[in-house]
Amino acid sequence: MKTDEALLRAVARGDRVAFRELYERHADRIFRFALSLLRAPHLAEEVLQETMVAVWKNADRFRGASKATTWILGIAKNQAYALLRREKRGERTPEDPVAEPDPAETTELCVRVEDAVATLPPHLREVLHLVFYEEMTLGEAADVLGIPEGTVKSRMFHARKALAKVLT
């Protein structure tokens, strides 16, 4: 099995098979990350597509200074915030959101946690998602977000504190 870094090098040379493999490896992760930032499945899907187009076009810019996953999720973060800016300026019309899953199908605790996470400001939600759901180290999350590791620690502290307050 090729590493993500090797796949990116192949993508930079125009290898469509390598791109498909990279897409299959990272699509779910990118979608979940975008969903945690945007809270709308249709917007998360749009960010997934825009992210993978950017990866295809810019694979030659990956220098290996970070993990490929970190680089790709950094692109996804930038795409998500760019989409929000376009909507705010009225450059795109928000679509009707896709129906959310039926809460009756999930456990009460999951719903409570999901609702509590949704109340967090975006800068805390994105850190929480990367560290807990993507299982990134604080350093990796800092790389994705382009902020110091100490800021990630601080935001995690504040996110945990806010969640504890809401959930107790």
Residues 94 and 107 in one domain: no
Q: Write out residues in the chain with pLDDT < 70, as ranges.
A: 92-107, 109-110
pLDDT, position 92: 61
Residues 149 and 89 in one domain: no
Residues 112 and 41 in one domain: no
Say how many domains are in the chain.
Answer: 2
Considering 98, 115, 135, which residue would you say is the last residue of a domain? 98
Give pLDDT tens digits for 125-155: 999 999 888 889 999 999 999 999 999 999 9
Residues 113 and 87 in one domain: no
Please state, in angstroms and rounded to a whole number, the distance separating the CA atoms of residues 145 and 164.
24
Considering 47, 76, 98, which residue would you say is the last residue of a domain? 98
Considering 98, 115, 133, which residue would you say is the last residue of a domain? 98
**CATH code of the domain in which 45 resides:** 1.10.1740.10
Residues 7 and 78 in one domain: yes
Residues 78 and 111 in one domain: no
Name the residue with tokens 């850190």: 127
pLDDT, position 58: 95
With beta carbons less than 8 A apart as the criterion, state whether 74 and 146 touch: yes
Average pLDDT, the chain: 87
Expressed as residue numbers, the domain containing 66 is: 1-98
Residues 13 and 94 in one domain: yes
**CATH code of the domain in which 127 resides:** 1.10.10.10
Residue 64 Rama label (left phi>0; alpha psi -120 to 50; beta): left
